[in-house]
Each structure stands twice: as structure tokens, then as C-alpha cells.
Amino acid sequence: MTLQHPIVSPGWLVEHHSSVQVVDVRWSMDAGPKLDDYLAGHIPGAVFADLDRDLSDPPGLRGRHPLPSPERFAAVRAALGLATVPVVAYDDQSGAVAGRLWWMLDAIGHPCAVLDGGIQAWPGELETGPAASAPADDVAATPVAPVPWPADRFIEADQVEAAIADGSVLVDARSAERFDGRPNPIDARPGHIPGSVSRPWTANLGSDGRFLAPDVLREQLAALGIEPGRSIIASCGSGVTGCHDLLAARSVGIAGGRLYTGSWSEWSLDPDRPVATAPDPGRDEVDR
């Protein structure tokens, strides 16, 4: 089967559940991977993907969640059975974390979608313990060929400023408070990349935790310059929630877009990189 849209409804997943591999990507800044929550109750057949271990390399100078090597990600795909069938990823934060798996798989050409509303929107019963219908041993053990990360889907720190100067829109998915540079427990060096625009990932959602209607979402993104034909770059704290902005854009027909994987957790570590703050609405002050 093929996925017609990068976001699927709970009803769609109920109907097509047997034709996809469901992946639970629950994680939080405080708790890390929520394996205990997964074991306590998950969508039937879902396997668990650990953001820190499976979808990232160890933290360091490249940020908190640098991309794993193609070889490491191929091994993860093999172990989780993500080699041959479409994938539907979910979390408990309306796609804030599941979007990372969507972006990684989409970048290498493997069909993937995110469950709208996350596990809270699932209408059926939950399964406890390890997945009863996890990939069969012969499927999980089948080697998966590594696929190089495509250069046109990602951007490195040294390319960011030139891309903005060339007209790319760099959208920051962190909260407005973090973007403005207000002191917070996450960013040791508060602020944002000069020239970027703020689009908190939560702004893509309605009060019910589901994605906004396409016409509303399209209008809001266009107001920031995020529209078809424009080069889009997404950033955030560590290359996770930035994928949510790219997912929202894709859902309304804005294809492509690049992810700055290191994001603020990499950028802010280098004292030579400029930092902007916005103490007053619409005014940036740049510290070099």
C-alpha cells in the first residue's frame, strides 16, 4: 500500500492497521524514552523506538540528538521491522517526537506517516507488555542496506548563514520564550539564530491536540514565508521538534525543506556563532 498523506487519522489507522508497522516514539525532556509507558499500554502491534538510542547518535559537539550513521539506522530499521511496509509513528505529544522518525524515513524514501493526536486519539484497546505482534524473527533479522542521508534534506551549521542570505526561511520550532532568549533550564546560551523566524511546533495544533485544518495551517505558514517554491530550513533545540514544522508544511503541500539537525544545541555551543535575542516584539539584537 502507499501512504497518501504524511498525517493519518485514528480511523484510518484502525482500517489499515494490518498493512503498516506502528512505532511508538514516546519520549520527554525530563524522562527520556518512555519505555515504561509503552509497556503499560500501547497501540496493538506497535514496536518501541528509543529517540536517544535508535534515532540519534550520542550527544556531543553536534548537539543533543545528532543523526545516527546510515549503518546504525539501517540496523535499527532491521531490528524494528521497518524495512518493507509503510510506517505509522505516534507519541503522546501530538507528533512532537514521532515527527523525527517520520522525517528520517521520509528522507531516505521509506513511506511513513504520523498519527494525528497521538496515542490519546487511539479509539481502540491498548496492548500491554512487549508487542504481541512484533516483527517476526526472520523479518527483524533480515539485513537492511544503509541509505546515505541525502544532502538536499539536511543542512550543516556552516551552511546556515549563507542559506538565509540566499533567501531561505529558517523556522525555529522552540517556544517563543526560548526563541526570544529568555533564561530557561534548557538553553545554556539563550537566543536564536539571527535571521530565523519563530514557529513553535505547538502552533501547528488545535486545542484538541490535532493538526489545524489545512487552510488555517497554510495561511499561518504563508505569513512566515513558508510556502511552495521557497527554500525552508527547520531548526529547534536538537533536531526533533523542528521536524514537526516540516511535517506541518508537507501536510499542506509544501514539499522539500531541510532539517538543521544540530539546531540550537549545536549552534549555541560555539561561542563564535552569532546569537540574536528579541526583548521587544519584532526587534532582534545580535551578539557576536
Active site residues: 236
Alpha carbon distance 98, 58 (integer Å): 19
Return the DSSP state at 63: B
Q: At what angle do helices 242-251 and 98-107 cross, to 10 degrees?
A: 70
Residue 237 host element (H or E): none
Q: Which amino acid is at 120?
A: Q
| Residues whose CB is less than 8 angstroms from the CB of residue 43 and which lie 6 or more positions away in sequence, other chains included | 13, 22, 24, 90, 119, 122, 124, 126, 127
Grid coordinates standing for 64? 543533543
Cβ-count burial 33-47 (b if 16+ within 10 Å, e if not): bbeebbeeebbebbb
